[in-house]
Structure 1
């Protein structure tokens, strides 16, 4: 069964741009791995 889910993420505006870029890159890689493994196909 699939559910429609909405998630709002607020990254602090004063966060260092390098830290933000690293965080976004790691989250993207994690999501791709979940899709590739079949654990969460519809991310």
Structure 2
């Protein structure tokens, strides 16, 4: 499994996406990984 940060996401509306926002989203996605892996392992 991998978490992908799409650096181009959100560039169309002119609103700046900060590194802090990117890292917060990566952290949020990572927090759900243990549950996801457990569910996948249980089938």
TM-score (norm 2): 0.48
* Greater RCO, 1 or 2 (C-alpha within 8 Å, sep 6+): 2
Q: Which has the higher helix share?
A: 2
TM-score (norm 1): 0.48
